[in-house]
Amino acid sequence: MERHLSVLRMLYDVLEGAGVNWAVTGSLGLALQGVPLEPHDVDVQTDEAGAYRIAALFADRVVRPVTFSAKAGMRSHFGALDIDGLTVEVMGDVQHQRADGSWEPPPDLWRIRRWVDIAGIRVPVLSLEHERDAYAKMGRTERVALISRALEAQGSVR
């Protein structure tokens, strides 16, 4: 987790200074909020402009350029960085496909972000409720159950 914190500090220093609307998501975002997971990478969610801005700010670390990408009922402006040997996946304007084939609007990151204080920085993360719902839309039932248990333990089931 030490390497993750080092990468988070770098992301925080650069992105906060650049005014990017961002939040940590995925296994690291969950682990930072008390969900018992061992993160292997860093997932960052932002808006469309933020995804391309992050790629520009870390141009020397891009391993997959940000492009519009769609797969398995989900689409976003997706790319990846390598920071100190750790993969940082960047997703802008993530959308999930509804049963009728239409697309949900991207989430309002300002509304669903929470803050976690760790290692002297205040890291934005997506709320556990949002993460639970997003994993449910992807059919990831084991992850939904894990997040639901963490929410119950924290006394914030909704």
- Structural domain includes residue 158: no
Q: Does residue 58 lie in a domain region? A: yes
Could you tell me which of 48, 24, 28, 37 has the C-alpha nearest to residue 113? 24
Would you say residue 18 lies in a domain? yes
Query: Do 114 and 123 contact (CB within 8 A), yes or no?
Result: no
Torsion of CA 66, 40, 37, 30, to 10 degrees: -30
- Supply 147's token pair: 């997040």
**74: three-class secondary structure by DSSP:** strand
Mean pLDDT of the chain: 93
pTM: 0.90
97-124 pLDDT, tens per residue?
988 999 999 999 989 999 999 989 999 9
pLDDT at 137 over 90: no
**Each residue's pLDDT tens digit, 2-31:** 899 999 999 999 999 999 999 999 999 999
Domain count, the chain: 1
Q: How would you classify the pairing of strands 86-96 and 42-46?
A: parallel
**Predicted confidence band at 155 (pLDDT cuts at 50, 70, 90)?**
confident
Instruction: Give the residue-averaged pLDDT of 69-95.
Output: 95
Question: Is residue 56 included in any domain, yes or no?
Answer: yes
Residue 34 lies in a domain: yes
Q: Is 11 exposed, middle or buried (0-12, 13-18, 19+ CB in 10 A)?
A: buried
- Check which CATH number belongs to the domain holding 32 and give it: 3.30.460.40
- Kindly state the average pLDDT of the residues 75-79: 97
Domain that holds residue 74: 2-153
**Considering the domain boundaries, does residue 147 fall inside one?**
yes
**What type of residue sits at position 51?**
A
How sure is the predictor about 156, in pLDDT bands with cuts at 50, 70 and 90?
low
Which residue from 158, 132, 137, 139 is spatially nearest to 33, judged by alpha carbons? Answer: 132
How much is the average pLDDT of 80-87? 96
pLDDT at position 158, please? 53
